[in-house]
Amino acid sequence: MTRNDRGGLPGPGGGLELGIWTIIWMVQGITTAGTVMGHIPGPPDTALRERFERHLHLVVDRMFRLPGTS
């Protein structure tokens, strides 16, 4: 997605709706199916959860270019 003047909305080829669905898909996927690294849903794995949270924030920051992010 490219930068635009729409105040943080995803650029051409993306769109707000697809951005929201991407976030939903990521969260649902890790909470129901685990990861490709073989993590099976169950008792919380703190290290994996923290790693996923950092990745999710990075995706959201880049996709929506929220104020205060680069």
Which residues contact residue 25 at a Cβ distance below 8 angstroms, ignoring those fewer than 6 apart?
A: none
Residues 21-52 pLDDT 10s: 989 998 888 877 766 666 666 666 788 888 88
pLDDT, tens digit, for every residue of 6-21? 455 555 556 788 888 9
| The two structure tokens encoding residue 55 | 């990745």
